Amino acid sequence: MNEKQKNIRNFSIIAHIDHGKSTLADRILEYCNAVTKREMEEQLLDNMDLERERGITIKARAVRIDYKHRDGQEYTLNLIDTPGHVDFNYEVSRSLNACEGALLVVDSTQGIEAQTLANAYLAVDCDIEIVPVINKIDLPSADVDRVRGEIEDVIGIVAEDCPAVSAKVGLNIDQVLDAVVEKIPAPKGDETKPLKCLIFDSHYNAYLGVVVYVRVIDGVLRAGDKIKLMNTGAQYDVVEVGYLNAFGLQKAESLSAGEVGYITASIKTVSETRVGDTVTTVENGASEPLQGFKEALPMVFSGIYPADGARYNDLRDALEKLKLNDAALSFEAETSVALGFGFRCGFLGLLHMEIIQERLEREFNLDLITTAPSVIYKIEKTNGEVILVDNPSNYPPTDTIKTAYEPTVKSSIITPTEYVGGIMDLCQDRRGVFKDMKYLDSSRVELHYIMPLNEIVYDFFDALKSRSKGYASLDYELAGYEPSSLVKLDFLLNGEIVDALTFIVHSEKAYARARKIAEKLKDNISRQLFEIPIQAAIGSKVIARETVRALRKDVLAKCYGGDITRKKKLLEKQKEGKKKMRRLGSVEVTPEAFMDVLKLDDSEK
Amino acid sequence: MRRIGLYIHIPFCVKKCNYCDFYSLPHSKEKEELYISALCKHIEKEKHLYDNCEFDTVYIGGGTPSILSKSSVIRLVGAVKKHLNTTQGGEFTIELNPCTITKEKLLTYKELGINRLSIGVQSANDKELKCLGRAHTSKEAFEKFNLARECGFNNISLDVMFSLPNQKISDFQKTLDYVCGFSPEHISAYGLKIEENTPFGKNRDKLSLPSEDEDYDMYMCLCDTLSKNGYEQYEISNFSKRGYRSRHNMKYWLCQEYVGFGPSSHSYFDGVRYYYDANFQKYIDGSSERIMETVNDAETTLADKMDEYVMLRLRLSDGVDEGEFFKAFNKSFLDEYPKLKDFLKNGYVVHQDGHYSFTRRGYFVSNYILSEILH
């Protein structure tokens, strides 16, 4: 190990949502004068509005900080930020793999939560040093000792002398930096070996093309090098290398083993540079890529349509722009009889889906209609063929299905004990299979269930929150496919199937859901000049029905004193509403009605 | 000579009715004096605009015009006749609330050339009148009607309302029978609409209103009963004996010109629609400004003009005459409004002698249909 390498510390901060990860990052930067208070936009690492609002970090970033330790030596600290949500587990694990250690931030008023554990386990899997940091000690309800105990008991790491800080008020930040330097090992790696860099993030920049963030494991990388991405096989000429500090990208001569930095190489989309891929040189390159590379696999699907059909092209442009920076987002054009032209989009999980939908609406000013989230079903047909179905409309007829499989997840729920009963009922209701229950301490419990993902994507998280007054936390990971008794539930308006309302549902729950949605449709469809029958059907068997009665009165009788404009305005408003309507055969439905029907938030509580 | 209508708004009431959202104020003698002076001044100031016009209909509405004292009416009508060119024998209407009618006032109207009365009877059921907040009984209303007949008025319109809180179809039938028994020349019938910012609007939840079906049945009952009694339905809410359509109101629906005076009064003149702010103080100060609803004729698009034409004509039983439409816009009516055909099939619209018009059923869902067919 050379001198330079000895004084490098590569680390991440991991935490449950809202435990103060980003605030701590800010304080560290501030403390090291990497950025002055005035220059610092609050929570610098989260540089998307949406992230800041939701208090979560979506895309990882890496910042280099120069730090003079009390031993008099200069250290280079690379802080690699990680996304803080279960949907981005793979990205988190790649970021952690780029580090030798992680600060595990735990809120001293809350204690360990589901994502604290999930993140801690990821760090253990990556075999990196975990340094607990107990945060928010300025709050009156802080209980540092209890949380220390919890960390030792539940995660099994020493927390006795770990820093207890308040990132908000900047208390004891020096202790955190001491711990980074003293507890986290310097990177290993050999400059003389063939080049191996781990890609842990990338983002699209309009001037530079894709900026790829890497951790150099072995070798040296220079501008002008011919590089190869080992999993995709793509080759590029490196235009520039450097590192990111609080002021932006800083060009450098080279990046060598142990260092963290960026590469630009005229790469056009982030999907060419997959997180977890290995960069090496074309000549004298490494023979084996780094372990652990995975394709970004969407787990949750939803149809996204512009509320105004004329904005289809805008929606496509917006999705393409988002895709530039989000390799995990997938989309393909889809046509729905009910909703017109749109896209079937794949997401890593529910949060990812919500974020994309919100960004489309906010940053691109689009009004969207989104169908209920769906998962991928695996169908073994009677003719031996196996197909994957991500759109309920494409679910094959029952008589052609030998066995249907649905994805399940291992879910971990941490909750105060008083809500255990309600949460167990909920999990039961959502077809969860109980695995075990562990007391974290006398007041908190961790529950494990195997659950169909299909049940989680329908508002499970909201239901969990409402049954625990917001205290329960959830984490889940994919646990494979299980055979299941599934049916395709269609809804018919005036005798015509509305494809956007087709659901795949467990046979035992079909009746309840059919009734609920039929009722919701009845409440949400505005009356028209004829009666509209609503039917829910499995195949040709109708299992629920409702009727929207015909409209008989819609008149403004009075046209008083020559006030024509009042009536005109009223009609114009009515006409505007009509324009937004979607025509389903002979029935008109507002986009809002669709969304209300698809919102299942109270459907099974 | 341009024939146009004149509307004068009297914004005073004895008592505001629970359903009413038109502009009116509590009455006082002083305010009345100030207001009549302001109106007369306003008319005089603007008279030059109407040099080449002949006012062949005059309508004094409100509010409650019959609240005005005899001398005020004389001043007002005097100013109108002095400054504006009114047609001798033209239709001249005043609105009356039964509780303010006196024989003396009626005789004054007669002398001044007012030849048509519109009386707000509303219901033959005193409970309903009380609920509406009307300051008269049904007996009083019909006594006043008879008084008007005695004073020589032979063109009287009665206003009735339906779809009232707790009203059953049999209740409304009684009102209709009672009203028809007096044989007025004209009847206007309006379904109660709950407006925001009225006592009814604020207590909407507490009102037990007829269902949509009951409402529909009452409207059909209205049309049937009046038809049986010899009234022609010439507009969604208006019925008359032969030759007694309201010529002033017809101007609104035929896109003809009319000018209004008084706060909240509306005008359509020289292709421009405007109104005066509903602000009494400003009006008596003489500082009330015209609020433009259409800037000028040229900037109103053809589609807008056609839509307005169609929206208003379809209120009339005569509907839209294809030939007239073509003459007015040089376009084929059905080509411009092709969706109308759907409603022909379903019996909401009829096509007869080159006219397209709503059926009764069509009238009652006319907003729905208009919002479908207009540009």
Please give the domain boundaries of chain B with CATH numbers for all domains: 2-252 (3.20.20.70), 301-375 (1.10.10.920)
- pLDDT, one tens digit per residue, over B275-309 is 999 999 999 999 888 999 877 666 678 998 999 99
A529 and B361 Cβ atoms separated by less than 8 Å: no
Crossing angle (nearest 10°) for helices B103-112 and B70-83: 10
**Paired strand residues for A503:** A489
B329, B248 contact by CB (below 8 A): no
The pLDDT value recorded for residue A46 is: 46
pLDDT at A181: 95
Task: Indicate if the alpha-carbon torsion angle A520, A526, A527, A532 is positive or negative.
Answer: negative
The whole-angstrom separation of Cα B341 and Cα B288 is 46
Residues of A whose CB is below 8 A from B363: 555
* Identity of residue A393: S
Which residue does chain B place closest to A559, by CA atoms?
Answer: B252
Structure tokens at B109: 């109207």
Report yes or no: A556 at the B interface, CB cutoff 8 Å.
yes
- Residue B92, token pair as written in the block: 């001249």
Q: How far is A496 from chain B (nearest CA, A)?
A: 20
How many angstroms separate the first and last alpha carbons of chain B?
Answer: 34
* A558, A571, A574 ranked by CB distance to B190: nearest: A558
| CB hemisphere CA count around A603 (13 angstroms) | 25
pLDDT at A162: 93
Name the region of B223 (left: φ>0; alpha: ψ -120 to 50; beta: rest).
alpha
Q: Are A39 and A347 in contact (CB under 8 A)?
A: no
Tens digits of per-residue pLDDT, B5-60?
Answer: 999 999 999 888 999 988 899 999 999 999 999 999 999 999 999 999 999 999 99
Structure tokens at A85: 């949500």
- pTM for the complete prediction? 0.70
Q: Please list the alpha-helical segments (H only) found in A308-364.
A: 312-324, 350-363
pLDDT the model gives residue A43: 43
Chain B residue whose CA is closest to A551: B365
Answer whether A570 touches B (CB < 8 Å).
yes
Q: Is B188 on the interface with A (CB under 8 A)?
A: no
Residue range B236-264: average pLDDT?
96
Angstrom CA distances, A330 to A57, A206, A503, stand at 20, 21, 21
Closest by CA to A165, choosing from A116, A122, A131, A115, is A131
Q: Please name which of B239, B146, B229 lies closest in space to residue B180, comparing C-alpha atoms.
A: B229
* Ranges of residues in chain A whose predicted pLDDT is under 70: 1, 34-60, 84-86, 246-247, 557, 559-561, 585, 599-605
Q: How many residues does chain A have?
A: 605
Nearest to A521 by CA among A445, A600, A435: A600
Classified as helix, coil or strand, A449 is strand
pLDDT in tens, B317-337: 999 999 999 999 999 999 999
Least confident of A559-563, B219-223, B263-267, B339-343: A559-563
Q: At what angle do helices B302-313 and B366-373 cross, to 10 degrees?
A: 160
Closest alpha carbon within chain A to B63: A561
CB B186 within 8 A of CB B246: yes
Tell how far CA A85 is from the center of its chain.
6
Q: At B208, phi and psi to the nearest 5? A: -100, 95
Token digits of residue A405: 């499989």
Which tokens in the block code for residue A419? 């809500």
> Per the CB < 8 Å rule, is A557 touching B190?
yes
Residue A136, number of CB atoms within 10 A of its CB: 25
Residues of B in contact with A586 (CB under 8 A): none
B-chain residue closest to A528, CA distance: B368
What is residue B90's three-state secondary structure? strand
Nearest to B22 among A557, A560, A564 (CB): A560
Maximal C-alpha separation, chain B:
59
Helix intervals (H) in chain B: 29-46, 70-83, 103-112, 126-132, 138-150, 169-182, 199-202, 212-228, 247-253, 280-285, 302-313, 322-329, 333-336, 340-345, 360-364, 366-373
Cβ(A10)–Cβ(A99) below 8 Å: yes
Q: Are B286 and B42 in contact (CB under 8 A)?
A: yes
B89: left (phi over 0), alpha (psi -120 to 50) or beta: left
- Can you give the pLDDT at residue A275? 87
**Alpha-helix runs per DSSP H in A162-230:** 173-183
∠ CA(B192), CA(B367), CA(B94), 5° rounding? 50
Distance CA B98, CA B102 (A): 9
**B9 close contact with A: CB closer than 8 A:** yes
State residue A55's pLDDT score. 41
What pLDDT does residue A274 have?
86
Tell me the HSE value of A66 on the side-chain side, using a 13 A CA sphere. Answer: 7
3-class secondary-structure state, position A64: strand
Rounded Cα gap, residues A165 and A172, in angstroms: 5
Residue A565 touches chain B, beta carbons under 8 Å: yes
Say if strands A254-256 and A220-222 run parallel, antiparallel, or are unpaired.
antiparallel
Number of A–B residue contacts, CB under 8 Å: 96
Residue A574 sits at the chain B interface (C-beta within 8 Å) = yes
- d(C-alpha B236, C-alpha B234), whole Å: 7
pLDDT at A57: 41
pLDDT of residue A185: 96
> Which of A562, A565, A571 is the closest to B370 by Cβ?
A571
Q: A579 in contact with B at a CB cutoff of 8 Å?
A: no
Structure token pair of residue B329: 């816009």
Give one DSSP letter per residue of A286-348, joined into a string: -SSPPTT-------EEEEEEESSGGGHHHHHHHHHHHHHT-TT-EEEEEEETTTEEEEEEEES
Phi, psi for residue B143 in degrees, rounded to 5: -65, -40
What six digits make up the tokens of A443? 């007041």
- For CA atoms B242, B244, B247, B253, the dihedral sign is negative
CB A223 within 8 A of CB A265: no
Tell me the sheet residues that pair with A102: A12, A130
Q: How far apart are CA A215 and CA A201, in angstroms?
A: 10
Q: With contacts defined as CB-CB under 8 Å, which chain A residues touch B191?
A: 555, 557
Pairing label, strands A486-493, A101-107: unpaired
With an 8 Å Cβ cutoff, is B217 touching chain A? no
Can you tell me the ipTM of this complex? 0.85
Residue A125: predicted pLDDT: 85
pLDDT of residue A485: 94
**pLDDT exceeds 60 at position B88:** yes
Search chain B and give the residue with CA nearest A574: B371
What residue in B sits closest to A572 (Cα-Cα)?
B371
